[in-house]
Amino acid sequence: MIRRFFVGLLFFLLISCGKNEKPIVAFYYWKTIFKLSPAEKEVLRDNKVSKLYIRYFDIGLHPETQDPIPMSPIRFQENAANFDIVPVVFIQNKVMSLPRLNIDDLAQKTIRLVEEMNAKNKIAVEEIQIDCDWTLKSKDNYLRFIEQFKKLSKKKLSATIRLHQVKYFKKTKIPNVDSGVLMYYNMGTIANDSLNSIYSKKVAERYLKSLKKYPLHLDFALPIYSWAIHIREQKVIGLRSKLNVNELKKDANFEKIGTIFFKVKKSNYKNGVFYEENDLLKIEAISSEDLIEMGNDLDKNLVHAPREIIFYDLDEFNIKNYEKNIFKQVISCF
């Protein structure tokens, strides 16, 4: 009883802090095995991170039967109970685009699997997040799935929201969730051009104004990942994540041309990938300045302050690209 009182008091205090309350730092964890490196632990500790959004599994289609099936569920090799865990289920849009999708069945199976994973890993959760880049074609299925999921899971439900879904929400509709997370990345096509597909202020500006009109509470997800786009004969043939630019600079098989491109001078294997002579690697990354810019731009266009800033994604490789206090700097924009 007393404890509840204190919790209530704390809550009251939090609320009464009102506008000055800064959002908390949270992270997405998107790897298939949950095991934190010392550097990752340090970041979590330094930023007092208590909340992790962990990708539990994807839902895709079985290549032969076209039935929805879970893919690469995460395995825990480390105790996650110290954190508030929000399981995230990534649903491929093609699943939601199936014309005869059994929505009840899928919602039930998804909840059952999340619960099974929670039970087997001794994780208690209060919220579940669904991640799906739904389109006009898959809208109806997706919205019904969310309704059904919410009804059955009896948990707080959040969903990721893409920029276009904010701007055109009258067309794309708003899923019936408790809150949304605006993915402030994936702003272009993964293409053989000189633009950054992760973030572009120009592209973002086209959407920012719509934020004020969006009726659902939004927290923000900001990118800290980088990758290289592997291009052969003007065609994108793959994404190479966790590619160390400094290492590329030192590698005689690669030549830096321009600010973001590397050219393969001699065919070679690197990290298990074959690079053919004349292939191009286009590096896409997010600088500290970009992150601050995002924070400021978002703050200028807000109605309600976000409660959380979630960085995508928690990985030693990503963190090493930034100064230690970057997360605090971003939070202070709000």
Partner 1 sequence: MKRIFLSKLFLVSSAALLSVYGIIHACGGGDDWDFFSANSNFTPETFADKSYSPLFLSGDIFYGIGFDTQHNSRFNEDIKSDWSTYLKGKADAATIAYFLIGEETTRYSSEKGAPQNKTDITQLHVFFKNKKENPTSLKWGKKINLKDDKIKSFIEFLYLAQKIETVSVNTDYWSYDPVVAKTFDDLKMIQSIENVYNTTSDSFLKNRYWFLTAKACFYSSNKKKTIEFFNKTEASVPKNVLYYRALSYVAGINHQQKKYSTSNYLYAQVFDKCPELRIVTAYSFRPQNDADWNKSLAMAKNNKEKAALWAIHGYYKDESQAIGKIYELDPKSEHLNYLLTRLVNGQEQAINNSFEVKVKSDDYSSPVVKQTVAENRVENKAKINTKAFDLVAKIAAAGNTEKPYLWDISLGYLQTLKGDYAAADINLNKAEKTLPKTELATYQLRLLRFVNNMSKIDKLTDKNEKTILADLNWLYQELPKTYKGQEFRYQNAAQWSKNYLAALYRAKANPVMVELFGGDAHANSYYWGGGNAFYDNEKNLSNMKTFLAKSNKTEIEKIGTGIYYLKLKDINNFQAVQATFNNKIPEAIAFIQQADSVQYYTFLGNPFNGNIKNCHDCDHKAYQKKKYTQLEFLNTIKAMQDKLAQKEDVYTNSLLLGNAFYNITHFGNGRTFYETSIVGYGSNPYSFRDSMKKMITNCDVPRMYYQKALEAATTKEQKAKCTYMLSKCERNEYYNTKYNNLKNWWEADDDKINFLAWSNFKTLKKEYSDTKYYQDVIAECGYFNTYVNQ
Bridge-based pairing of strands 235-241 and 227-232 is antiparallel
| C-beta of 16 vs 65, nearer to partner 1 | 65
SS3 call for 21: coil
Residue 133 as a binder of partner 1 (CB under 8 A): the answer is yes
Residue 63 as a binder of partner 1 (CB under 8 A): the answer is yes
| C-beta of 69 vs 216, nearer to partner 1 | 69
Residue 321 as a binder of partner 1 (CB under 8 A): the answer is no
Question: Looking only at residues 82 through 121 of this chain, which bind partner 1 when binding is defined by CB under 8 A?
Answer: 90, 92-94, 109, 112-113, 116-117, 120-121
Rounded to whole angstroms, the Cα distance separating 240 from 252 reads: 19
| C-beta of 21 vs 255, nearer to partner 1 | 255
Instruction: Identify which of 28, 25, 22 has the alpha carbon closest to the alpha carbon of residue 129.
Output: 28
SS3 call for 164: helix
Question: Could you count the other beta carbons within 10 Å of the beta carbon of residue 14?
Answer: 11
Among 7-15, 73-81, 140-148, 174-182, which window interacts with partner 1 (CB under 8 A)? 73-81
Tokens of 271: 């990290």
Bridge-based pairing of strands 33-34 and 75-76 is parallel
Binding residue for partner 1 (CB under 8 A) from 1, 20, 64, 154?
A: 64
Phi-psi domain of 16 (left: phi exceeds 0; alpha: psi -120 through 50; beta: other):
alpha
Among 6-14, 58-66, 150-158, 286-294, which window interacts with partner 1 (CB under 8 A)? 58-66
Residue 66 as a binder of partner 1 (CB under 8 A): the answer is no
Least gap, CB of 238 to partner 1 (angstroms): 8
Rounded to whole angstroms, the Cα distance separating 28 from 85 reads: 10
| C-beta of 301 vs 317, nearer to partner 1 | 317
Gyration radius of the chain's alpha carbons: 21
Residue 193 as a binder of partner 1 (CB under 8 A): the answer is yes
Burial 306-316 (b: 16+ CB within 10 A, else e): bbbbbbbbbbe
Q: What is the DSSP string of 209-273?
A: GGGGG--S-EEEEEE---EEEEEETTEEEEEEES--HHHHHH-TTEEEETTTEEEESS-EEETTE
Question: Looking only at residues 248 through 277 of this chain, which bind partner 1 when binding is defined by CB under 8 A?
Answer: 253, 267-272, 274, 276-277
| C-beta of 120 vs 249, nearer to partner 1 | 120
SS3 call for 286: coil
By residue count, the chain amounts to 334
Residue 168 as a binder of partner 1 (CB under 8 A): the answer is yes
Residue 78 as a binder of partner 1 (CB under 8 A): the answer is no
| C-beta of 30 vs 261, nearer to partner 1 | 30
Least gap, CB of 251 to partner 1 (angstroms): 10
Least gap, CB of 73 to partner 1 (angstroms): 6
Rounded to whole angstroms, the Cα distance separating 218 from 299 reads: 12
Residue owning tokens 């997405």:
28
Judged by the rule CB under 8 A, the positions of this chain that interact with partner 1 are 30-33, 55, 58, 60, 62-65, 67, 69-73, 75-76, 90, 92-94, 109, 112-113, 116-117, 120-121, 133, 168, 186, 190, 192-193, 225, 227, 232-233, 235-239, 241, 253, 267-272, 274, 276-277, 313
